[in-house]
Chains A and B, each alone.
Chain A
Amino acid sequence: MKLSQFGFLSDCIYNMTMTKLSWRTYFVFVITGIFIGILVTAQVKSSVPSSSFIYDQLAAQKALIKDYVDEQAMLKSKIVALRSQIENNQANIRENSQDNNLEALKELKNDIGLSPLKGAGVEIKLNDGFFVNRDSTDQIDQSLVQASDLRDIVNLLHSAKARAIAINDQRVLASTSISAVGNTIMVNNYHVLPPFDIVAIGEKEMIMPLLNDKSYLPDLHARIAQFKIQFSAEAKNNLSVPIYNGNLNTNFLTEATSDSQ
């Protein structure tokens, strides 16, 4: 057998070409060759651009998003601090005043999530599947926790009469939106990342059976059973939910008195 200077591979090619091959073998080689040609072409066409412009642009956009997120965190902590200061001042006024409005105000604040709440309830842990990287996985991958999963769980908790709900320390109100932008989930337009810690204060005897009932949240339960996402729910006695730290707008909302019809 003659060996060429290009080594074993070229030797094989030499043998292949010098040997009388059957038509079947030729056919296999032709088909395989076409496949390789397609793959090489696709590889060349789909290669990541070598220019740094796209990378620079994406890096700048990500830096901008990070700036906004950092600013948002700062603004929200300032809101919490201001509401706390207002609460303290009003507590002082309450001590020195007979104004009944202060009790009414306290009750209203409880109703719209401006008071922290502690008590018994359920803590739910929800996470993406094992070995899944959210940053490099397609948005619709079933191994990722979706915004709709969080919405469905929150809806179920509300149905079970939960008195207060928070996702990763973001208080969930009736007006809270839980949405997705790409693979990013936003609660109250604030970035939240997995693992998701959902705390619900309420009757755990009402909440737990609904969470464990597979007829509710069927899609979520199916993915849990297939180990696509991680889920656990536990009844606890000492849970706390923080106050709402977002904005409460009434720019378009006015009271409708009976004579204004």
Chain B
Amino acid sequence: MKHLEKIREMKFSGIGRQQVSILLTSVLLGFLIVTQARSFTDVTALVGRDSSADVFREIKILKTTNEKLSNEIKDLEDQLAKTSDSGKALQGIADEIKKYKLLAGRVDVKGPGIELTVNGDLKALWLTDIVNELFNAGAEAVSVNGIRLTDKTVGFDTIPSGQILLNSIILKKPFVFMAIGDKQVLRDALNQPQGILQRLDQSLGGVTIDLKQKDEVRMEKVF
């Protein structure tokens, strides 16, 4: 209170009443700006980040994943039962080998899926993102320009000339991505609003994109 009295007694001689008023108004303005900014942050945190669309998508992914994991557990329990039964053990091992050969790229494979052709100057990051999107949508096998991606072949390497290498082979446009899986799910995943194809089109002008559903896609073994 003493400070206030002193200020009152100053008679605003040097500074002037108007300037003090402006100062106070500025302080009030600053206070309101900060309050407003904080308010926007709160709203963004509530509505922006945790928007229903994101939360529902997350729930859907988790639900589907858990269903697949439950199915995997059933398969593994069957396998375990076979390994405990001497009469079925060797057959169980043969079945496992057959499945793992499909996944490892040791045999030629086929199945329904999609063929995506992108004609444009793509950088490695786009190839990585497209492949990621295909596996995210449940693709069981993916190839790029005829090279199947397995744990032995992944890794898009950009050489100094700007060309992209995959498995020591230079990838040339058009880039043809093949994926085996649920063809409708794969197509919808690629075509979704703000999905990979829309972002690709928006980011790189002059790119032509052709997406086809296929009843049968074939991929050659890797080695």
Tell me, yes or no, whether A binds B: yes
Interface 1/0 per residue, B34-57 and A, CB below 8 Å:
011001111111101111101111
13 contacts across the A-B interface (CB closer than 8 A)? A8-B7, A8-B8, A36-B29, A72-B69, A101-B90, A105-B100, A111-B152, A112-B104, A148-B129, A155-B154, A158-B155, A159-B155, A253-B141
Whether the pair A181, B154 counts as a contact (CB closer than 8 A) is no
Segment of A27-35, A119-127, A230-238 in the binding face? A27-35
Assess the B97–A105 pair: CB atoms within 8 A.
yes
A168 sits at the interface (CB 8 A): no
Contact call A246/B69, Cβ cutoff below 8 A: yes
Interface of A is mostly: helix
Separation of A176 and B149 alpha carbons in the complex (Å)? 11
The one of B33, B84, B94, B102 that contacts A89, using a Cβ cutoff of 8 Å: B84
A8 to chain B, nearest CB (A): 6
Q: Is the CB of B39 within 8 A of A254?
A: no
Whether A90 contacts B21 by the Cβ 8 Å rule is: no
Which of B50, B80, B96 is within 8 Å of A82, CB to CB? B80
- Residues 34 to 57 of chain A near chain B (Cβ within 8 Å): 35-36, 39-40, 42-43, 46-48, 54
Residue interface mask A185-214, B partner, CB < 8 A = 1: 010011000000000000000000000000
The reply to whether B43 and A48 contact each other, CB–CB distance below 8 Å, is: yes
Cross-chain contact B4 with A8 (CB below 8 angstroms): yes
Are A248 and B103 within 8 A (Cβ)? yes
* Interface contact B72-A178, CB-CB below 8 Å: no
Q: Is there contact, CB below 8 Å, between B61 and A181?
A: yes
Contact A72 B65 (CB under 8 A): yes
**A16 contact from B17, B93, B142, Cβ within 8 A:** B17
B121 at the interface (CB under 8 A from A): no
Cβ of B58 to closest chain A Cβ, rounded Å: 4
